Amino acid sequence: MSRALDGVSSVVHLAAFGSVVESVQDPFENFDVNVRGTLVLLRACAAEGVEKFVFASTGGAIMGNTPPPVDEATLPWPISPYGASKLCGEAYCHAFAGSFGLSVVALRFANVYGPVSDRKEGAVTTFIKRALRREPLVIYGDGTATRDFLYVDDLCYGISAAIDAQVQDEVVHLGSGEGTSIAELARLVLELTDATDTSIQYEEPRRGEVERTFAKPERAAELLGFTASHSLRRGMQKTVEWFVAHGVD
């Protein structure tokens, strides 16, 4: 890490063990990657004089089943090892700001989607691939669970704003501020892929997954000048078009 950080002024830490479901299956590997990995990087940043550290945290997984909308003052209550590991990463960010003077911003990402995401796990990618193959879409639970979906270009804008922001030690939710049910998402995907005759199947909920979440966007606007510019329909249209154009199914 010392060699990698030579001459670097800002670090955006995106690497992670990102699956909620797999974190339940193997919490030790999740801890090793997300907590120990973050600590190793923070220590190197402090030693090499890095000026700004932007940490990719998570919204819903950290807040658990706290009734939405949540904000930065809401008490975190993770219900999965993944959420716990990200909350621990945030704590280490605060500690390095306090102990070493490192400027840190923890960005609690909403559910990110967009083009070039064919290898990404999650409902959006899975739904699009199955819809294009005219295979039934599978929803875990009754479909009423909600998520805050954020288009990837909006996310990148928020990250860039966090690098430039004159802040020392902050936590900020990056999201659209709107909750969309998984059933609504499935119906939108079927519409955009012209697969409305494809069925939707419902299976038992999976352990560790949050029921309902979306975050207030006011603090992101105040500190970073951030506002999501893509509606879910507009962003999903671009995403589906990319999957079709690249023959990903």
Please, which pLDDT band fits residue 79 given cuts at 50, 70 and 90? very high
Beta strands in 59-199 (DSSP E): 103-109, 111-113, 137-140, 146-147, 149-151, 169-174, 180-181
The yes-or-no answer on residue 82 being catalytic is: yes
Q: Residues 79-100: what's their mean pLDDT?
A: 97
Residue range 176-215, pLDDT digits in tens: 999 999 999 999 999 999 999 999 999 999 998 999 899 9
Smallest CA-to-CA distance from 217 within 103, 87, 68, 18 is with: 68
CATH of domain 10-245: 3.40.50.720
Q: Where are the domains of the chain?
A: 10-245
User: Which one-letter DSSP state was computed for residue 67?
Assistant: P
Looking at residue 152, its pLDDT comes to 98
In order of 19, 53, 91, the CA distances from 169 in angstroms are 27, 10, 11
